[in-house]
Structure 1
Amino acid sequence: MVRLTRAQQQERTRAAVLAAAREEFAERGYADAKVDRIAERAELTRGAVYSNFPGKRALYLAVLVDSIGPAASEEGPSFEEGPPSEEGPPPSGVAEALGAFARVWLERLPLTGDTAAGGKLQSRSLAGVFDDEPGRAALGRLARLEALLLALALEPRAPSRARRVRLAELVLTLLGGAAHLAETAPGFGDPFDVARACRHLAGLDLADTWDPPHLPFVTPARDVRDAWEPPAELPDELTGHRTRLDADGVIAVLGTGRLEAAEEAVRAARPEDSVTIAVVTGDPAELGRLVRLRIGDLAGSLRRVFGPDPRPGLHLVLDEHAAVASAAGIPDADDATEAAVRVQAGEIVARAHGRGAAHAAAVTRPALPRTDQ
């Protein structure tokens, strides 16, 4: 008889809980699912379920994260993942890119014959899951981050390379509405029409500009000379692989309540900079899983359309154990954190904290490397 190690037994228990939860949610939906029934399906005690997941919402989010695939698994992206793009060469224009992105995104929609509960699980619906203010606020800020990531993939394909965040927001609004109708009114609407509509949205003039009024008044970053000892390779939610954090550039540590500041780092950074967004949260079981779900879901679609690295030079890591924050000298990181450092030649050469920190660190001009006297 093979005796399992403690870690192996825990992993087996967790897998059994996830499989049972998937069946329960697919059959009864999130609202009517019961933890007791999940435990019974898994042939485990209720305590065994709660030892792995603090509540039903965390368990539902874990099931959805697991459904995306290995690139978004809670153990991190897998090096064994297959080719990221199966859609042919990346699109050359914004309209073509939006049409391709919409077609990939719409694959999640439930079919007419699916049950209501199964359809919501298929579409990775969060309807009725976050009815508290912290969860709703996090969803709103995540939506802004999703629009930024889609826009950054689109902008190099625009003749003027102008900002396309408002266009991305409009496209995601249309796709979100299509998903809601597919859940509440099965069979209504044609996904091919929705994809064509997204393609045509590229022709709208939305007068999109980037000029936040507070940025000229942001406190400048402090010049420092501190050693930079980054943590080991971390899963990059955008590329589906692990990433090192030793390149010169900007590292912004943002709580789930400050995700919109990611654009401040991206717009202010120099072309040669590596930009890393490290997301921190005081609630990894729920808000952390929510970030992994939404960003992993979007990034998977982006990779299929734009290739393995939708926005070269940009990395996004979920800093669940505050390893990046600690290495950057940012104590007590939580959902309200906004801090950033600039790294050059293995040193932290600038620090900023508070509103506008990502911008302040990004616009800091690195000093010339020190030379021995």
Structure 2
Amino acid sequence: MVRLTRVQQQERTRTSVLAAAREEFTEHGYALAKVDRIAERAELTRGAVYSNFPSKRALYLAVLIDMVESATSGEPPTSPTSPTSPAEVLGVFARTWLERLPLVGDTASGGRLHLRSLGGVLDDEHGRTVLAQVVRLEALLLAIALESCEPAHAVPVRRVRLAELVLTLLDGSGHLAESAPGFGDPFDLARACAHLSGIDLADTWTPSYLPYVAPAQPCGDAWDPPTGLANQISGDRVDFGADGLIAVLGAGRLAAAEEAVRSARPGEQVAVVVVTNDSAETGRLVRLRITDLLGCLRRVFAPEVWQRVRLILDDEALTASAIGLTDLDDETEAAVRVQGGAIVARAHGRGAAYAASTADASNGTQPRSTRT
């Protein structure tokens, strides 16, 4: 008889719970699903379920993450063979995203699961606030890809507002599909997304608070980078050895990721590290949305479009610990600049990424210019 190790047993239990939970959520939906029935389906005790997932919401998010990761695992990324216009790639991206719409014959609850619906799941102010921040990060990732489609000789243009508009249209179609399945033509939606690229949104990046950001603290601290962390964008292990900016952001401050990207010095790497003190629910919400979006983006854009940006979901706060942060919550906003194997600038609070990136290591001051 083969004896399972404790880790193997835990993984087997977790797999059983996820399979049972998916059946329960498919049959009854999130609101009417019962943890007791999930435990019965998995032939486990209620306590065994809660030992792996502290709440029904955490379990639901875990089921969705498992579905998304299973759908994208082993799927080779596709990318344009040559630079294309934002309109063309937006059409392809929209069609890819719309594949999640419920199919004819799906039950209401099964269709919502296929749609990755969060309807009725985020029933508290904190959850809705975090979701709003996550969508801002999603828009930035899509915008970076769209900006890469501009001709090399063109004046740099910001595409964040366009990305936000596209995601609003797509998410709206998803919400409508829940209550009125079959309404709307996905191909019309894809064409509409493509045409949105022609709207002049007068999009620039000029945050009004930048001139008032407190200067970063110059330093020369030793840099002992964490290991084993993955870049969610590429799937590769993160190498923190290169010069660049590291921004550590709580789940309630993800909009500041754009500040890190826009403020970084030419040629330097940008690492956006997401932390939370609630990995079971808040952490899973962030992971679900980001994993889902990146699965769509990788089918449309070459990975090189995000080559300067690395996104790390650091559930164990290894990066935060490496730069000396201890008290973490969803409002955390801190940044360091690494140069020549040392931390040369530190900043905390609003505008931390801008302060750390633009600091003069010799005196801690920074210029007051901004970039579009």
TM-score, with length taken from structure 1? 0.93
CA contact (8 A) 2:251 2:331 kept: yes
Correspondence for 2:366: none
* Contact 1:111/1:119, CA 8 A, preserved across alignment: yes
Q: How far off is 1:242 after superposition?
A: 2.2
Counterpart in the other structure of 2:128: 136
On the 8 A contact 1:39/1:49 being kept in 2, the answer is: yes
Match in the other structure for 2:76: 83
Q: In terms of mean alpha carbon deviation, does 245-254 or 302-311 score higher?
A: 302-311
RMSD of aligned C-alpha atoms?
1.5
Deviations, residues 224-261 of structure 1 (Å, cap 9, x unaligned): 01111111131211112322222110000000111111
For the 8 Å contact 1:225–1:347, the answer to whether it is kept is yes
**Distance across 2 between alignment mates of 1:351 and 1:91:** 38
Q: Distance in 2 between matches of 1:215 and 1:133?
A: 28
Distance 1:112 1:164 in 2: 35
Pick which of 182-191 and 306-315 moved more: 306-315
Matches within 5 A, 1:170-185: 170-185=165-180
Gap regions ≥5 residues in structure 1: 73-77, 368-373
- Deviation at residue 82 of structure 1 after TM alignment: 4.3
State the one-letter code of the partner of 1:206. L
Pair 1:93–1:365, CA change in 2 (3 A): farther
Distance 2:26 2:82 in 1: 35
Query: Which residue pairs with 1:371 in the alignment?
Result: none
Secondary structure of the residue aligned to 2:306 is coil
> How far apart, in 1, do the equivalents of 2:97 and 2:83 lie?
16
Distance 1:242 1:90 in 2: 27
Q: Which amino acid aligns with 2:131?
A: L
CA contact (8 A) 1:341 1:349 kept: yes
Alignment of 1:231 with 2:220, yes or no, is: no
Match of 1:64 in 2: 64
Q: Distance in 2 between matches of 1:94 and 1:115?
A: 36
Aligned to 1:340: 335
**How far does residue 309 in structure 1 lie from its aligned partner after superposition?**
4.0
Distance of aligned partners of 1:106 and 1:91 in 2 relative to their CA distance in 1, 3 Å threshold: farther
CA distance in 2, matches of 1:241, 1:290: 22
Q: CA contact under 8 A between 1:148 and 1:168: conserved in structure 2?
A: yes
Counterpart CA distance in 1 for 2:315 and 2:8 is 22
- Structure 2 counterpart of 1:253, one-letter code: V
Structural mapping, 1:1-373, within 5 Å: 1-69=1-69, 81-85=74-78, 89=81, 92-158=84-150, 159-365=154-360
TM-score when normalising by structure 2? 0.94
> How many aligned residue pairs are there?
359
Distance 1:240 1:305, change over 3 A: same
Q: Which amino acid aligns with 1:117?
A: S
Segment of structure 1 superposing worse, 352-361 or 242-251: 242-251
CA contact (8 A) 1:277 1:317 kept: yes
Are the counterparts in 2 of residues 276 and 314 from structure 1 also a CA contact under 8 Å?
yes
Using a 3 Å threshold, how does the CA distance of structure 1 residues 366 and 272 change in structure 2: closer, same or farther? farther
Deviation of the 1:307 alpha carbon: 1.9
1:68-96 C-alpha deviation (Å, 9 max, x unpaired):
11698xxxxx8xx44222x6536511101
In structure 1, distance between residues paired with 2:148 and 2:310: 17
Share of identical aligned residues, percent? 66
Change (3 A) 1:106 1:71: closer
Q: Are the structure 2 counterparts of residues 352 and 62 from structure 1 closer, same or farther at C-alpha, using a change threshold of 3 Å?
A: same
Which amino acid is 1:307 matched to?
A
Cα distance in structure 2, aligned partners of 1:36 and 1:27:
15
Cα displacement (A) at 1:38? 0.2
- Do the aligned partners of 2:216 and 2:359 also contact (CA within 8 Å) in 1? yes
Q: What displacement does 1:160 show?
A: 3.1
With over 3 angstroms needed to count, the CA separation of the structure-2 counterparts of 1:351 and 1:71, relative to structure 1, is farther
CA distance in 1, matches of 2:35, 2:240: 40
